[in-house]
């Protein structure tokens, strides 16, 4: 199946203060559609409408300024919310986004790290990677960590994925594959990720503990201080 391309990416931006997120990433590819979600965190103590009445103009202005900085069309939306994660989820749903961009302090964009878990969600992940690589000079490393017994499957997963990127018109030289043998894939991913500029990871199902104790964004995105595109499950 060919990759569809043209991913839609949700970019949550805190519009409650004047700190600007790095915009390099937002201009990374013309092939993607951007949805800028300006969220304004509201403490439990205040009704969202109350802060909206006080700060809506500021919030709209900040988001518009950001949109102007990146100089390209983007859907803009400002939301006053008690719960950022829930708002992001709902907006991603509403605008049918393929991925959510989580910020990190690192700003280079040349080396893209793509840990793959399996066939789940692979189309969306690869399609986004292809969109990102259509920009010059960026390279992608497809990564799979697995136990010794599962190596054959892991290698075929990586090879297939690389082939599909090539089919989508990406130069073979710019795609690297790496298979790691380990009993702890999570740690292997986190350790390797530090060598790269940017991550593309698939969303995981929240576990029961996540549900009770509040949601944890993927461990990778939390532990690695790199911007990450979290590709949503369909």
Partner 1 sequence: MTLGGGTMIGAGIFILPGLAAEGAGPASSISFGIAGFVALLAALSLAELATGMPIAGGSYHYVNRALGGLFGSIVGWGMWTGLMFASAFYMIGFGQYIVVPLPFLDGRALIVLIGLVGLAAITGLNYYGTDESSGAQNLMIGAELVVVLAYVAVGVFFVEPGNLAEFAPTGPTGIVATTGTVFVTYLGFEIIATVAGEIEDPGRLIPLTMVVSVVSVTLLYVVIMLVSTGVVPYQQLGGSLVPVSDVAAITMGGAIGVAAVTVAAAVAAISSSNSSILAASRVIYAMGRDGLMSDRLNVTHDRFATPHRAIIATGGVTGLLVLAGLQVAEIVALLAQVASFSFLVTYALVHVALVVFRRVDPEPYDPEFEMPGVLYPVVPVLGVVMAGVVISQMQPAVIVVGTGIVGLGGVWYGGYARSRTVDEGLLGEAVATAFEPGGIAFETVGGLFGQPGPSDATAGAQSYRVVVPVANPTTQRRLLRLAAATARAHADDGEPELVAVHVTEARRSPDRNVESDRLDERRDLLTVARGVATDIGIDLDTRSAIADDPGEVILDVIRETDAEQVVLGWQGVTDGDSEVFGSTLDPVIERAPCDVALVEFEQETIGESVALVDAGPHAATVAQRAVDFATVDGETATLLTVQRPTDDADPVKEGRRMIEWVANRANLDPDEYEPEVVVSENLSTAIIETVTGYDTVCVGLSERSDAERIEFGSTARRVSRDAPGNVAVVRGRELLEPDARDRAPIEQ
Among 30, 47, 72, 187, binds partner 1 (CB under 8 A): 47
CA–CA gap between residue 101 and residue 204 (Å, rounded):
15
Shortest Å, Cβ 83 to partner 1: 6
Among 3, 26, 32, 37, binds partner 1 (CB under 8 A): 37
Q: How far is CA 211 from CA 14, 95, 218, in A?
A: 24, 24, 13
Q: Which of residues 62-101 bind partner 1 (CB under 8 A)?
A: 77, 79-84, 86-88, 90-91, 93-94
Shortest Å, Cβ 213 to partner 1: 4
What size, in residues, is the chain? 234
Among 1, 43, 149, 205, binds partner 1 (CB under 8 A): 43
Q: Judged by CB under 8 A, which stretch of 51-59, 104-112, 158-166, 178-186 contacts partner 1?
A: 51-59
178 forms part of the interface with partner 1 (CB under 8 A): no
For residue 27, report the phi and psi dihedrals to the nearest 5 degrees.
Answer: -100, 10
Shortest Å, Cβ 35 to partner 1: 11
Q: Which of residues 14-33 bind partner 1 (CB under 8 A)?
A: 16
Residues 20/98, Cβ–Cβ less than 8 Å = no
Shortest Å, Cβ 110 to partner 1: 33
143 forms part of the interface with partner 1 (CB under 8 A): no
Q: Judged by CB under 8 A, which stretch of 34-42, 157-165, 184-192, 221-229 contacts partner 1?
A: 34-42
Shortest Å, Cβ 63 to partner 1: 14
Residues 99/128, Cβ–Cβ less than 8 Å = yes
Binding residues for partner 1 (CB under 8 A): 16, 37, 41-52, 54, 77, 79-84, 86-88, 90-91, 93-94, 212-214
């Amino acid at each position: 199946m060919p990759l569809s391309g043209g991913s839609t990416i949700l970019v949550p931006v805190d519009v409650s203060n004047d700190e600007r997120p790095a915009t390099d990433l937002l201009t990374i590819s013309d092939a993607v559609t951007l949805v800028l979600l300006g969220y304004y965190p509201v403490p439990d103590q205040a009704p969202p409408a109350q802060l909206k009445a006080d700060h809506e103009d500021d919030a709209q202005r900040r988001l518009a300024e950001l949109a102007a900085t990146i100089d390209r069309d983007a859907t803009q939306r400002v939301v006053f919310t008690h719960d950022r994660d829930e708002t992001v989820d709902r907006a991603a749903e509403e605008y049918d986004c393929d991925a959510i961009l989580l910020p990190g302090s690192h700003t280079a964009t040349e080396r893209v790290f793509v840990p793959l878990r399996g066939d789940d969600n692979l189309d969306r992940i690869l399609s986004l990677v292809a969109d990102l690589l259509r920009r010059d000079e960026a390279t992608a490393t497809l990564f799979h960590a697995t136990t010794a017994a599962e190596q054959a499957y892991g290698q075929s997963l990586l090879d297939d994925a690389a082939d599909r990127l090539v089919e989508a018109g990406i130069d073979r030289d710019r795609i690297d594959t790496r298979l790691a043998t380990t009993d702890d894939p999570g740690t292997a991913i986190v350790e390797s990720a530090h060598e790269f500029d940017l991550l593309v990871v698939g969303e995981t199902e929240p576990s029961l503990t996540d549900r009770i104790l509040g949601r944890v964004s993927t461990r990778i995105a939390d532990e690695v201080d790199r911007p990450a595109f979290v590709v949503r499950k369909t």
